[in-house]
Amino acid sequence: MNYENPELQPPVLEKNESIQPDAPDFIETPDVVPSASTPEPLPIWLYLICGFALFMAGSSFTGFDTFGLGLLDQGAGGPSLVSNKSAQTAAVTDPLALGKKVYNGNCANCHHADGLGQPGTYPPMGGSEWVIGSKERLAALLLHGLSGSVTVEGGSYGTAQMPAWALTDSQMANLMTYLRKSWGNTASEVKPEEISAARAKFASQTAAYSEADLLKIAPHGSDPSDKK
């Protein structure tokens, strides 16, 4: 037995017939635009800005002196930071640092890195009147060498000949500056032009000096230029 209510039966549409907008069962459905399968790429300027921001942030944390901006400056009262490049430049131009290299390569084998020398054979550098006395006399000694024994601070040292050093004016000046300012010595700095003048003055010397010959160069101790 069929109990279906004939009044509730859905209407039967004819072929090609559709529900009209004014029909009671019509519900309007908004048009849906299908999404694109490939997303739109980000603009190139956005990549550039992000990359630059990351570079600047990394530079500030690593201490890199980006464009000389000093990004790690801690403000007023804070310590000023020196870039690696500035520190390296200072080391390259420091006469003491350069003179130490010359000393280690030419003198330390006999006089040792501590400047103490060897008793009875190689004199010490600290407090030596030959080192902290006349710059002109020390230049002559290094330019032409020393033969025979020498007295340093009342002690006699060896008969081995000290050779002449084939150094440039700058190398010689840096070496003498290092000798005169190390191991407790506080004598004045030596300039390359002073070595140039000494080289010209003693150009006629062809053999190594003796102690007696060297003492004639500055018989009254330090020359006036040492008092600068």
**Is residue 62 in some structural domain?**
no
How many domains is the chain partitioned into structurally?
1
**CATH number for the domain including 113?**
1.10.760.10
Q: What is the pTM of this model?
A: 0.60
**Is residue 8 in some structural domain?**
no
**Is residue 141 in some structural domain?**
yes
**Is residue 68 in some structural domain?**
no
Per-residue pLDDT of 177-211, as tens digits, reads 999 999 999 999 999 999 999 999 999 999 999 99
**Is residue 2 in some structural domain?**
no
DSSP secondary structure string for all residues of the chain:
-----GGGSPPPPPTT----TTSTT-------PPPPSSPPPPPHHHHHHHHHHHHHHHHHHHT--GGG--TT---TTSPPP--HHHHHHHHHH-HHHHHHHHHHHHTHHHH-TTS--BTTTB--STT-HHHHS-HHHHHHHHHH-B-S-EEETTEEE-SPPBPPP---HHHHHHHHHHHHTSTT--PPP--HHHHHHHHHHTTT--SPBPHHHHHHHSTTSS-GGGG-
Residue 175, domain extent: 94-227
Per-residue pLDDT of 37-89, as tens digits, reads 556 666 777 778 877 777 776 655 444 444 444 444 444 455 555 555 555 55
**Is residue 168 in some structural domain?**
yes
**Is residue 80 in some structural domain?**
no
**Is residue 69 in some structural domain?**
no
